[in-house]
Amino acid sequence: MDQHHDDHAHQGPPPKEVSHPVLWTVGLLVSAAVIVGFFVYWWGIGAVHGRDLGPIPLKPKAAPPVDHAALIADRGDAVLAKGELIYANKCASCHGADGTQPTAGHIRNLAKDAFKAPDGGGPYGFFLTLTNGLGAQMPAYKASLSVEDRYAVTHFVREKIVKTKNADHYLADDPAPVKAKIPRPTAGGTGAGEAEVVPWEVKPPKGIEALMAHDAAAAERRIAALQGWVAASGLGSVDSAALAAARPGHLDALAAAARQGADGEVAGVAVLARILPLRSQSELADIHRRLAAAPAGVPQ
């Protein structure tokens, strides 16, 4: 600064200092401190929260897809050994240690009896019996055994007990109707044996269904009326057929134009041009006039 002033001393008074460097510096330091402080505080809060809450899941984990076909096919030693353990833990108390000695008369003798569940004793039918239980006495294992575990015990009982001691009632495969029920692998399927949820197959509530049926019936009557109108207008059979097959929205637009007679000609011709693309404008105008003059009137 001094150097600067000296340089200009001979040219007149030094230029007036319009800003104060100390104030600027202090201002800069204060804003930097505020920004740094804000982030430190912010991170501090975040850390404290994180410690209290533990990891926060971004979204619920989807259940892994269940591949029933693969589980039905896998009857290897590891699976059978696992099934044997589960059998000892969960089933032997009722069905007997080796399946031949049920502990009460109403319990199925796995080494002798037939399968009576509606889906039978094939691999998937057996799995469904375990999943949903049977009658009042055979428990459901949907909640207490995983899908894999239910298949493991299914395979153990079928391959090691039924097949060897009860061969008459051993089914290598499920009957076709049961097989058809085997769910395909789905992401997020529950694997509880129930069919996968297909949104467009979910039925709406009763009242809504009635309303929809009512609307659908009304819509069908309207389409029939429009098609009858086209047929009665005395157009050539080719044109009548093309118009009768047109989209309901197009037919409605045609009827709306026809109700206006000559005033609706432009609109009518525009719609007709989409349904009968090969006709000339004058032919379309003629068709519009015939539709407007239909003997039985234009549907409202």
- For residue 75, state whether it binds ligand HEC (rule: CB under 6 A): no
Provide the CA 197 distance to its chain's centre, in angstroms: 7
From 107-115, 174-182, 193-201, 239-247, span contacting ligand HEC (CB under 6 A):
107-115
Exposure letters 15-48 (e unless 16+ CB within 10 A, then b): eeeeeeeeeeeeeeeeeeeeeeeeeeeeeeeeee
- Shortest distance, position 151 Cβ to ligand HEC, whole Å: 11
Distance of CA 198 to the CA centre of its chain: 6
CA angle at 87 for the pair 81 and 88, rounded to the nearest 5°: 95
- Residue from 94, 225, 256, 270 binding ligand HEC (CB under 6 A): 94
The nearer residue to ligand HEC, 124 or 126, going by C-beta atoms, is: 126
Q: Of 61-69, 110-118, 183-191, 209-217, which segment contacts ligand HEC by CB under 6 A? A: 110-118
Question: Should residue 134 be labelled a site residue for ligand HEC when binding is judged by CB under 6 A?
Answer: yes
Phi and psi based region of residue 22 (left: phi greater than 0; alpha: psi -120 to 50; beta: remaining):
alpha
Amino acid, res. 236: G
Our finding on whether 192 is near ligand HEC (CB under 6 A) is: no
Q: How far is the CB of 125 from ligand HEC (least distance, A)?
A: 7
When the beta carbons of 83 and 183 are compared against ligand HEC, the nearer one is 83
Q: Which of 68, 79, 124, 126 binds ligand HEC (CB under 6 A)?
A: 126
Who contacts 74 (Cβ-Cβ below 8 Å, separation ≥6)?
Answer: 151, 155
Interacting positions 150-169 with ligand HEC (CB under 6 A): 153, 157
Shortest gap between Cβ of 113 and ligand HEC (angstroms)?
Answer: 7
* Part in contact with ligand HEC (CB under 6 A); list of ranges 100-108, 199-207, 212-220, 241-249: 100-108
140 binds ligand HEC (CB under 6 A): no
For CA atoms 37, 42, 47, 52, the dihedral sign is positive
Cα–Cα distance list, 130 to 117, 146, 166, 283 (Å): 11, 11, 19, 71
Q: Given the rule CB under 6 A, which residues bind ligand HEC? A: 90-91, 93-95, 106-108, 115-117, 121, 126, 129-130, 134-135, 137-139, 141, 153, 157
